């Protein structure tokens, strides 16, 4: 934090049992802590290459190595560094386990993991065993078992583990968090969120040929919330999950699967091989989560039907409500008209988080990735806790498998307490902003 150094911050008692806030990038500009951070990137497809580009814009970062299954992708990432006037990273490209060689040889400070989903946890575990901070793309794991392994390995090795949930760092979501912590919404009672994003024609399948891309196999083999983290990321802090409250159970239901077949018949005709396949994944998954302190959360998976993008964040408390989709807010103590929505933007500007003090609009995702990576790199540089810790990463990740189990059983299932009781005494720490 700009106004508090880490020692003073710890003296305030704001240190959580399993995490504390990280200092902003500017705090290290003229300190010994501003040393070069050596980063490797494993998986340099579209998302991984984007991370390479962002890392090159952060002062004091060296992309020391890149690793991928395809040599052309690895060489492209290395060339981006070279063209930027940076030292060309070492390339690793042999087989599915080559990342281990990279971790052992390069002595990296941190590694960004942007590979196929099923490999995330194994690479994260290997990184921690090598003393390297893992920044794992979403989801951090696909099973609750592997989620526990990430926690246990982080605890044993002392290496923090962060899932790179970028929507937690959005400017609007951080402003809402500031307002929540000021008590402007009163006591939080209910939240809603969704990942509503028609991905059939670009993420799951090729838009020109209809050929399956790697995520398509999950639609064929599973019925669950495949991608909950972008929706739930901001909610974790809004609801004080792992810090004063925790999820106790999840109940998920799924609609029929109609959207994928409809898309193929409409776009490619009835004879396309994918037009008549049976997809296990329902078009809409609705999950209801309950907390120990009586809050509720509704999450929607919605990635297979024609629709504009939306996250549908809703934060509702005893003093008011924020509705991201409406870009509106209503507060009983401040809104000028009784039960009439106000525009959100003036509040976002007034309660803007300290991490958003510049114009990052030319960066990916409107600067959100840049803000996230700056905070991650600062944590690595000072060998401190990451802005999103392994426990919050675990909560977001576990929804994937647990939602599938609930759908199959048609019943609520217990939600693990990844903190093992420490949620009762842990204090909020993510994105603490003393400037408001």
pTM above 0.75, yes or no: yes
Nearby residues of 427 by Cβ (< 8 Å), 6 or more positions away? 13, 14, 15, 16, 243, 244
Cα–Cα distance measured from residue 148 to residue 107, given in angstroms and rounded to the nearest whole number? 26
Instruction: Report yes or no: 42 and 65 within 8 Å, Cβ to Cβ.
Output: no
In a 3-state reduction of DSSP, which class is residue 268? coil
Domains 35-163 and 168-358+388-424 agree in fold: no
Structural domain spans, the chain: 35-163, 168-358+388-424
What span, in angstroms and rounded, lies between the C-alpha atoms of 403 and 250? Answer: 7
CATH (one of 3.30.360.10, 2.40.160.40, 1.10.8.350, 3.30.43.10) for 168-358+388-424: 3.30.360.10
- The pLDDT of residue 4 is 30
From residue 403, alpha-carbon distances to 53, 237, 252, 297, 411 in Å are 35, 21, 5, 13, 10
Question: What's the rounded Cα separation, in Å, for the pair 351 and 135?
Answer: 28
Q: Which token pair is 91?
A: 């390339």
CA distances from 296 to 245, 253, 381, 393 (A): 11, 16, 37, 20
- In three-state form (DSSP H/G/I as H, E/B as E, the rest C), the secondary structure along 82-115 is HHCCCCCCEEECCCCCHHHHHHHHHCCCEEEECC
Q: What is the model's pLDDT at position 34?
A: 61
Query: Phi/psi at 398 (nearest 5 deg)?
Result: -65, -25
Kindly provide the b/e burial profile for residues 291-318, where b requires at least 16 CB atoms within 10 angstroms of the residue's own CB. beeebebbbbbbbbbeeeeebbbbbbbe
pLDDT at residue 14 tops 60:
no
Contact 78, 147 (CB under 8 A): no
Radius of gyration (C-alpha) of the chain in whole angstroms: 22
pLDDT at residue 121, as a whole number: 98
* 8 A C-beta contact, residue 343 and residue 336: no
Model confidence pLDDT, tens digit, residues 388-434: 999 999 999 999 999 999 999 999 999 999 999 999 999 999 999 98
Percent of the chain's residues with pLDDT above 90: 89
Computed from CA positions of residues 231, 236, 239, 245, in that sequence, does the dihedral angle turn out positive or negative?
positive
Q: Mean pLDDT, the chain, as a whole number?
A: 92
What distance, in Å, lies between the first and last C-alpha atoms of the chain? 12
Residue pair 416/144 in contact by the 8 Å Cβ criterion: yes
Joined tokens for residue 345: 């933007």
21-48: pLDDT as tens digits: 333 343 333 344 468 999 999 999 999 9
For 76-114, what is each residue's pLDDT tens digit?
A: 999 999 999 999 999 999 999 999 999 999 999 999 999
Q: What is the dihedral of CA 367, 372, 377, 383, to 10 degrees?
A: 160
pLDDT tens for 255-294 read: 999 999 999 999 999 999 999 999 999 999 999 999 999 9
Whole-angstrom Cα distance, residue 133 to residue 158?
Answer: 10
Q: Give the pLDDT of residue 361.
A: 84
35-163 CATH, one of 1.10.240.10, 3.40.50.970, 3.40.50.720, 3.40.640.10: 3.40.50.720
């Amino acid at each position: 934090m700009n106004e508090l150094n880490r020692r003073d911050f710890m003296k305030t008692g704001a240190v959580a049992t399993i995490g504390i806030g990280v200092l902003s990038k500017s705090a290290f500009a003229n300190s010994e802590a501003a040393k070069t951070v050596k980063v490797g990137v494993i998986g340099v497809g579209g998302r991984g290459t984007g991370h390479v580009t962002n890392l090159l814009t952060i002062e004091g970062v060296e992309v020391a190595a890149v690793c991928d299954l395809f040599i052309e992708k690895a060489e492209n990432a290395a060339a981006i560094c070279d063209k930027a006037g940076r030292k060309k990273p070492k390339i690793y490209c042999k087989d599915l386990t080559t990342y281990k060689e990279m971790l052992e040889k390069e002595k990296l400070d941190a590694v960004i993991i942007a590979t196929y989903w099923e490999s995330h946890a194994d690479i994260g575990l290997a990184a921690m065993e090598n003393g390297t901070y893992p920044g794992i793309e979403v989801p951090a794991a696909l099973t609750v078992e592997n989620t526990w392994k990430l926690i246990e390995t982080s605890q044993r090795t002392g290496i923090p583990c962060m899932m790179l949930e970028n929507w937690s760092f959005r400017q609007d979501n951080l402003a809402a968090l500031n307002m929540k912590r000021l008590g402007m919404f009163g006591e939080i009672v209910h939240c809603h969120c969704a990942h509503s994003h028609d991905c059939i024609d670009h993420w799951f399948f090729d838009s020109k040929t209809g050929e399956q891309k790697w995520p398509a196999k999950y639609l064929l083999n599973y019925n669950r919330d495949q991608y909950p983290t972008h929706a739930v990321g901001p909610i974790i802090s809004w609801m004080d999950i792992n810090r004063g409250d925790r999820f106790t159970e999840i109940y998920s239901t799924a609609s029929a699967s109609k959207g994928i077949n409809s898309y193929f018949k409409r776009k490619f005709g009835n004879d396309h091989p994918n037009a008549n396949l049976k997809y296990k994944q329902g078009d809409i998954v609705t999950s209801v989560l309950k907390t120990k302190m009586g809050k509720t959360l509704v999450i929607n998976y919605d990635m297979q039907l024609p629709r504009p993008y939306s996250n549908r964040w809703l934060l509702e408390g005893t003093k008011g409500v924020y509705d991201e989709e409406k870009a509106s807010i209503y507060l009983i103590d401040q809104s000028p008209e009784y039960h009439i929505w106000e525009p959100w933007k003036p509040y976002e500007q007034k309660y803007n988080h300290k991490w958003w003090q510049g114009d990052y609009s030319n960066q990916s995702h409107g600067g959100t990735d840049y803000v996230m990576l700056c905070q991650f790199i600062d944590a690595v540089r000072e060998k401190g806790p990451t802005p999103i810790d392994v426990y919050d990463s675990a909560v977001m990740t576990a929804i994937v498998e647990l939602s599938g189990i609930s759908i199959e059983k048609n019943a609520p299932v217990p939600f693990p307490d990844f903190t093992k009781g420490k949620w009762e005494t842990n204090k909020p720490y993510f994105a603490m902003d003393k400037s408001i």
